[in-house]
């Protein structure tokens, strides 16, 4: 069922979403300061490309104030817009019965887009 969900996801918007994340990640790689943020955009792009069957977990091995500072910068310089768009799409998908699994994936993407530093995709 995961494979079918992922194929439908990719065909009906997941590919465009992933390409957007990959392009923004490449744009962030232009500057040295943007490289860590570009890596997080690639992380979101990989999850947006094939979301069914994957989970988002906190990375318990590495903690520190740097992740907190980076998450705050991420939130104010673009993360808020990403989170709100995924929340809006998730609510719109939850309106229909057929769209509930896809809405769940958008809520998963919103969760990791809120604070991507210190999280891993399993």
Percent of the chain with pLDDT over 70: 98
Residue range 8-64, pLDDT digits in tens: 999 998 999 999 999 999 999 998 899 999 999 999 999 999 999 998 888 877 667
| The two three-digit tokens of residue 90, written as one number | 């998730």
Structural domain boundaries enclosing 42: 2-121
- List the structure tokens of 67: 């992740």
Q: Provide the token pair at 14.
A: 């997941």
DSSP-assigned states of every residue in 70-92: HHHHHIIIIIHHHHHHHHHHHHH
Return the H-helix or E-strand segment holding 119: strand 119-121
Taking the model in full, what pTM does it have?
0.89
Domain count, the chain: 1
Check pLDDT > 90 for residue 3: yes
């Amino acid at each position: 069922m995961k494979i079918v969900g992922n194929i439908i996801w990719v065909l009906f918007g997941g590919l465009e979403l992933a390409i957007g994340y990959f392009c923004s990640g490449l744009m962030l790689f232009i500057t040295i300061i943007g490289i860590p943020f570009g890596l997080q955009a690639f992380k979101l792009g990989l999850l947006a490309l094939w979301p069914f069957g994957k989970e988002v977990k906190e990375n318990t091995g590495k903690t520190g104030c740097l992740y907190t500072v980076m998450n705050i910068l991420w939130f104010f310089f673009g993360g808020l817009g990403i989170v709100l768009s995924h929340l809006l799409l998730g609510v719109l998908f939850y309106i229909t019965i057929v769209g509930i699994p896809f809405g769940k994936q958008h809520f998963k993407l919103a969760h990791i887009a809120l604070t991507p530093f210190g999280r891993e995709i399993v």
